[in-house]
Structure 1
Amino acid sequence: MRTCRRALTILTLSLPLAAWAAVPVVDDNASNGGGSYPPAGYGTTGAYAGGGVTAPASAQGELFMQLQQMQDELGRLRGMVEEQQNEIQRLKQEGLERYQDLDRRIAAGGASGAPAANQDSGNTGAINAGGAPVQPAAQQPAASTEPGDPAKEKLYYDAAFDLIKAKDFDKASQAFSAFLRKYPQSQYAGNAQYWLGEVNLTKGDLQGAGQAFAKVSQLYPTHNKVPDSLYKLADVEQRLGHSDKAKGILQQVIAQYPGSSAAQLAQRDLQRL
């Protein structure tokens, strides 16, 4: 019995030693190559590839990048909106100036409906819509098939002019065009041709305005609206980007009509070009 108890005691005491002997001993210097702690890759969730560790971007990092991209895009859109607003404001200002200019011209004498007196100013260098000089009598209005009736012509002309005062420029343009087709040799024709140009310019129809203004000097070379029509033609050419043509027309206005208000305006515009 004593022999058995002694054997069990020896066996029990020897068990911890055997357990300790089963635990492997790790040399930190051998496994980490430098004894650093914690070991490389500790706390990462990436996979080793080619000896390095690739860690995916965190959710917070991706969200930050998306927000940054959205802010950049928002800034770009704001810049575009500001440019468009500036352009709209510029167009509004131009439209307002055209209306004001038209109102001043209406108040200056066109509203009465009386035909403008002709003047023989020696105009030998009228300019067509393209800016090239033409002879003043190169083209005369075709004879009307309807006999002249000054009273009827005045009613027709006044009705067209009333459309300008009502700011109904589309109908005014149609009315003046119809008047000129029906009464091309009327005493009101020169005025109608000029106001057709004004209406088209106010509408923003630069091509139509240029053609209408040019025809004043071509068809009615001695009409007192010729200086104004040439000045307005220069304005149209400038708006179309034809600076050289505009300068040539303005110089002609100054040279041929030195005492006119159109010449004073032409001198001012030449200094700006």
Structure 2
Amino acid sequence: MKIKLAAISMAAVLSTAAWAQAPVVSVGSSGSVNDRLAELERAFNARSQAQIDQQRQLNALQQEVSELRGLLEEQSYRLEQVVERQRSLLAAQQDAAAQQQAPAASAGRGTAEQDAAASGGGKASAPAGGDEQAAYDNAVNLVLQDKDYDAAIPAFARFITQYPQSTYVPNAHYWLGQLLYAQQRFDQAKAQFTRVVEAYQTSNKRADSILKLGVIAKEQGDNNLARQYFEQVLSEYGSSSAARLAQEYLGGL
């Protein structure tokens, strides 16, 4: 009996040892799990690469949009300058036509009295002297004919200093502000436009000067102040071309 029990015990031990030594792969499931893990890893890597590619495309599109926006702003600025020059030329042509239609008795007064009627505050003024007229015409011609803007700036500044009582002074301040603005000397340009707005209430350049103050405020990032100037143009000069431009600027704020 003891021998039989010992044999049974030995068989049990051998069976247990054989079970413990059996390889795990014999179940047949480990290989498929590894394959699935590898497949999941490949899918994850592919998705990550796709996200990276999409992000690169998005960055490229954002860069293109930024460049297009900058180009649009530049074109808008240039168009504004063209419109401004056309308005100035039209005003000069209207002045010339008015002079030709004036009675012969008033022909000798030249263009000074006509400019005064448009911008001089409603007071009768003496015609400009020869030197005064020549100085103003020279400064204007530097802008309209010679396109020598660097030389026009000191020319207008000298005119204002030499002829402070001239009926052309409001226009000279306005021209000087325009030239300084074109050179992005915004603070100096603002001083010239402010002078027109505050000192020459009936000047035909006042509406445009208020508009330019709004444009400068916008350029300097003060949209609240810009809005105040544009709304002032609409309130005081609602039917003017300056008001139409002010409305467009308000729409862009």
Which TM-score applies when normalising by structure 1?
Answer: 0.55
Counterpart of 2:26, as a letter, is G
The 10-residue stretch of structure 1 (208-217 or 65-74) with the greater mean CA deviation from structure 2: 65-74
Deviation string, structure 1 residues 64-105 (Cα, Å, up to 9, x no partner): 899879846743552353133123212322222222222222
Say if 1:209 and 1:97 are closer, same or farther in 2 by CA, change over 3 A.
farther
Deviation string, structure 1 residues 127-183 (Cα, Å, up to 9, x no partner): xxxxxxxxxxxxxxxxxxxxxx83223333233323323444344334323432343
Counterpart of 1:208, as a letter, is Q
Quote the residue 1:100 is aligned against: 82
Q: Give the conservation status (yes or no) of the 8 Å contact 1:157–1:176.
A: yes
Q: Give the conservation status (yes or no) of the 8 Å contact 1:163–1:172.
A: yes
Quote the residue 2:178 is aligned against: 198
Match for residue 134 of structure 2 among 125, 144, 155: 155
TM-superposed deviation, 1:206: 3.3
Structure 2 unaligned residues grouped into runs of 5+: 1-17, 97-110, 123-127
Structure 1 unaligned residues grouped into runs of 5+: 1-26, 45-54, 122-148
CA distance in 2, matches of 1:77, 1:88: 17
Does 2:193 match 1:213?
yes
Does 2:217 match 1:226?
no
Match for residue 164 of structure 1 among 143, 155, 161: 143
Does 2:157 match 1:177?
yes
Match for residue 85 of structure 1 among 61, 67, 82: 67
% identical equivalent positions: 25
CA distance in 2, matches of 1:220, 1:75: 56
Quote the residue 1:9 is aligned against: none
Q: Give the conservation status (yes or no) of the 8 Å contact 2:121–2:200.
A: no
Say if 1:93 and 1:266 are closer, same or farther in 2 by CA, change over 3 A.
closer
CA distance in 1, matches of 2:235, 2:59: 51
CA distance in 1, matches of 2:20, 2:196: 103
CA distance in 1, matches of 2:191, 2:247: 24
Say if 1:249 and 1:170 are closer, same or farther in 2 by CA, change over 3 A.
same
**Number of aligned residue pairs:** 208
Aligned-residue CA RMSD (Å): 4.5
CA distance in 1, matches of 2:246, 2:89: 23
Q: Give the conservation status (yes or no) of the 8 Å contact 1:29–1:35.
A: no
Match for residue 35 of structure 1 among 26, 40, 44: 26
Deviation string, structure 1 residues 49-73 (Cα, Å, up to 9, x no partner): xxxxxx9xxxx99x98998798467
Mapping for residues 1-273 of structure 1, pairs under 5 Å = 30-33=21-24, 35-36=26-27, 71=53, 74-75=56-57, 77-110=59-92, 114-115=111-112, 116-117=115-116, 118-120=119-121, 150-165=129-144, 166-257=146-237, 261=240, 264-265=243-244, 268-269=247-248, 272=251
Deviation string, structure 1 residues 190-225 (Cα, Å, up to 9, x no partner): 111111222233344433332221111233334332
Pair member with larger Rg? 1
CA distance in 1, matches of 2:149, 2:214: 22
Higher helix share: 2
CA distance in 1, matches of 2:47, 2:72: 38
Counterpart of 2:190, as a letter, is G
Say if 1:263 and 1:92 are closer, same or farther in 2 by CA, change over 3 A.
closer
